Amino acid sequence: MVPNKVSAVLDENTVASVMAAIADIKTKLPFLIDLASDELKELPRLGGKNLIFTTKALALVKQDNGFMPRDFSVEEMEKDVTLFSNLQGVRTEIAKLAEMVEDTYIEVGSEAYAAALVVYANAKRNGANTVGMDDSLDEMSKRFYKKSKPVTPPQS
């Protein structure tokens, strides 16, 4: 018996609704950006000790910003710190959702492939007699062809 952890139907209307909800999230977060991997590597990361440091720096500059260059914006720094904080929960929930979608995707694909293997094995074993089945089995058997490696004579 093929294990079946997931038994569900995802119809086109539900897919469209989910895609609309994702689009809605994107419109609610219009400031989201997509960085290239080389850009990501260059950025300093805010977390742990750096978060404490940044929070203290913000408190310091809000108390007295007279020592800062004129083009430094305390308001923009405060917006960044607040946005970072507010995005943490959203990020966590979206990451959990993405992981669940990925896990389900992998599980369902595994179940479908395991079922296909059972179909193939039974069709081969029990000699399918339906017209055109031999052609299908021949096509399916190509999945298991292995290229043989050329034999190299041992060197003496």
Predicted pLDDT of residue 97: 97
Predicted pLDDT of residue 93: 97
Predicted pLDDT of residue 125: 81
CA distance 81 to 83: 6
Predicted structure pTM score: 0.76
Low-confidence ranges of the chain (pLDDT < 50): none
Taken as a whole, the chain contains a residue count of: 156
Predicted pLDDT of residue 100: 98
Return the half-sphere exposure (C-beta side, CA atoms, 13 A cut-off) of residue 145: 7
The CA–CA distances, whole Å, from 115 to 1, 18, 108, 112, 122 equal: 9, 28, 11, 5, 11
pLDDT digits (tens, 9 = 90+) for 115-139: 999 988 888 887 666 666 777 888 8
Predicted pLDDT of residue 128: 62
Q: Is 123:137 a contact under the CB 8 Å cutoff?
A: yes
Domain positions in the chain are 12-127+136-142
Burial class from Cβ neighbours inside 10 Å (0-12, 13-18, 19+) for residue 146 reads: exposed
Predicted pLDDT of residue 153: 72
Alpha-helical regions (H) of 37-73: 37-42, 49-63
